[in-house]
Amino acid sequence: MATVAAPSHVDLVLNVDNINPNVKAMEYAVRGPLVIRAGEIEKELAMGVKKPFTEVIKANIGDAQAMGQKPITFIRQVISLVAYPDLLSSKEFPEDVKSRARAILESSRGSAGCYSDSAGLELVRNHVAKYIERRDGFPADPSNIILCAGASEGIRSTLKMLSTISGPRTGIMIPIPQYPLYSASIVEYNMEQAGYYLDEDNDWGLDVAELERAVKEARKRCNVRGIVVINPGNPTGQVLTRDNIVEVIKFAHREKLFIFADEVYQDNVYADNREFHSFKKVTKELGDPYDKLELASFLSCSKGYMGECGLRGGYAEIVNMDPEVKALYLKSISAKLCPTVLGQAVMDCVVNPPQPGEPSYELFSKEKAAVLKSLSERASMIAKAFNSIPGIKCNTVQGAMYAFPEVKIPEKAVAKAKSLGQAPDVFFAFQLLEQTGMCCVPGSGFGQRPGTYHFRTTILPQPEKLQIMLDKFRSFQESFLKEYQ
Amino acid sequence: MATVAAPSHVDLVLNVDNINPNVKAMEYAVRGPLVIRAGEIEKELAMGVKKPFTEVIKANIGDAQAMGQKPITFIRQVISLVAYPDLLSSKEFPEDVKSRARAILESSRGSAGCYSDSAGLELVRNHVAKYIERRDGFPADPSNIILCAGASEGIRSTLKMLSTISGPRTGIMIPIPQYPLYSASIVEYNMEQAGYYLDEDNDWGLDVAELERAVKEARKRCNVRGIVVINPGNPTGQVLTRDNIVEVIKFAHREKLFIFADEVYQDNVYADNREFHSFKKVTKELGDPYDKLELASFLSCSKGYMGECGLRGGYAEIVNMDPEVKALYLKSISAKLCPTVLGQAVMDCVVNPPQPGEPSYELFSKEKAAVLKSLSERASMIAKAFNSIPGIKCNTVQGAMYAFPEVKIPEKAVAKAKSLGQAPDVFFAFQLLEQTGMCCVPGSGFGQRPGTYHFRTTILPQPEKLQIMLDKFRSFQESFLKEYQ
In 3D space, the residue among B402, B13, B338, B370 whose CA is nearest the CA of residue B179 turns out to be B402
d(CA B83, CA B346) in angstroms, rounded, equals 12
* Residues on chain B touching A24 (C-beta within 8 angstroms): 328
* Tens digits of residue pLDDT in B390-421: 999 999 999 999 999 999 999 999 999 999 99
CA angle at B44 for the pair B39 and B45, rounded to the nearest 5°:
95
Which residues of chain B neighbour A158 with C-beta distances below 8 Å? none
What is the pLDDT at residue B252? 97
- Is the predicted pLDDT of residue A7 greater than 90, yes or no? no
* Residue A2, pLDDT score: 41
Looking at CA atoms only, how far is residue B257 from chain A in angstroms?
6
B44 pLDDT more than 90: yes
Task: List chain B residues with CB under 8 Å of A87.
Answer: 80, 87
**Using CB atoms within 10 A of its CB, is residue B411 exposed (0-12), middle (13-18) or buried (19+)?**
exposed
pLDDT digit string, tens, across residues B98-151: 999 999 999 999 999 999 999 999 999 999 999 999 999 999 999 999 999 999
Rounded to whole angstroms, the Cα distance separating B197 from B180 reads: 15
> How near does any CA of chain B get to the CA of A24, in Å?
6
Residue of B3, B24, B111 to mutate when probing chain A, most A C-beta within 10 A: B111
End-to-end CA distance of chain B: 49
- With 90 as the cut, is the pLDDT of residue B430 above it? yes
Contact between residue B57 and residue B461 where contact means Cβ atoms under 8 Å apart? yes
Q: Tell me which amino acid residue B369 is.
A: A
Q: Considering only alpha carbons, which residue of chain B is nearest residue A64? A: B114
CB atoms within 10 A of CB B442: 26
| Nearest alpha carbon to residue A83 among B79, B63, B88, B350 | B79
User: Distance between CA B129 and CA B448 in Å, rounded?
Assistant: 37
Q: Estimate the crossing angle of helix B122-136 against helix B279-286, to 10 degrees.
A: 60
Q: Which of B240, B242, B239, B262 is nearest to B173 (CA)?
A: B262
- Other Cβ atoms closer than 10 A to B50: 7
Helix (H) or strand (E) holding B139: none
All residues of chain B having their beta carbon less than 8 Å from the beta carbon of residue A16 are 322, 324-325, 328
The 10s digit of each residue's pLDDT in A432-445 is 999 999 999 999 99
pLDDT digits (tens, 9 = 90+) for B8-33: 444 788 888 888 888 888 776 666 78
Contacts of A15 in chain B (CB under 8 A): 322, 324-325
**Nearest-angstrom CA–CA distance, B220 and A81:** 56
Shortest CB distance from A141 goes to which of B1, B30, B118? B1
Contact B275, B232 (CB under 8 A): no
Contacts of A326 in chain B (CB under 8 A): none
pLDDT tens track for A148-162? 999 999 999 999 999
* Angle subtended at Cα B146 by Cα B142 and Cα B152, rounded to the nearest 5 degrees: 145
Angle made by CA atoms B335, B337, B338, in degrees to the nearest 5: 140
Does the pLDDT of residue B6 top 50, yes or no?
A: no
Q: How far apart are CA A241 and CA A433, in angstroms?
A: 36
Q: In chain B, what percentage of residues exceed pLDDT 90?
A: 88
* Closest chain B CA to residue A149: B340
Amino acid found at A22: N
Q: What is the ipTM of this complex?
A: 0.94
User: CB neighbours of A284 closer than 8 A, spacing ≥ 6?
Assistant: A136, A138, A291
- Determine whether the interchain pair B115/A61 forms a contact, defined as Cβ–Cβ distance below 8 Å: yes
User: DSSP string covering B252-306, please?
Assistant: HHHHT-EEEEE-TTTT-B--TT-----HHHHHHHH-TTGGG--EEEEEESSSTTT
DSSP state for residue A435 in the 8-state scheme: H
Are the C-beta atoms of B260 and B155 separated by less than 8 Å? yes
Q: Which domains, and CATH codes, for chain B?
A: 13-67+366-484 (3.90.1150.10), 103-351 (3.40.640.10)
Spatial separation of the C-alpha atoms in residues A9 and A1, rounded to whole Å:
23
Among candidates A446, A455, A426, which has minimal Cα distance to A228? A446
- Tell me what percent of the residues of chain B surpass a pLDDT of 70: 97
Q: Above 70 in pLDDT, residue A113? A: yes
CB A178 within 8 A of CB A230: yes
Q: Is B275 exposed, middle or buried (0-12, 13-18, 19+ CB in 10 A)?
A: exposed
Tell me which residue in A90, A110, A332 faces B23 most closely, judged by beta carbons.
A332
Task: Inform me whether the pLDDT recorded for A217 exceeds 60.
Answer: yes
User: Does B310 sit within 8 Å of A112, measured CB to CB?
Assistant: yes
| Per-residue pLDDT at B373 exceeds 60 | yes
The CA distance from A209 to A471, in Å, is 40
Which residue in chain B is spatially nearest to A287 when comparing CA positions? B4
- Residue A138: pLDDT over 70: yes
Question: Taking the mean position of all CA atoms in its chain, how far away is CA A330?
Answer: 23
pLDDT of res. A31: 66
pLDDT single digits (tens) A385-438: 999 999 999 999 999 999 999 999 999 999 999 999 999 999 999 999 999 999
Residue from A305, A317, A314 nearest A268 by CA: A305
Q: Which helix (H) or strand (E) holds A271?
A: none
| pLDDT for B31 | 67
pLDDT in tens, A28-84: 766 678 888 999 999 999 999 999 999 999 999 999 999 999 999 999 999 999 999
pLDDT of residue A22: 84
- The amino acid occupying position B291 is D
Please tell me the distance from the alpha carbon of residue A380 to that of residue B102, in angstroms, as a whole number. Answer: 36
Mean pLDDT for chain B overall = 94
**Rounded Cα distance, B320 and A154, in Å:** 33
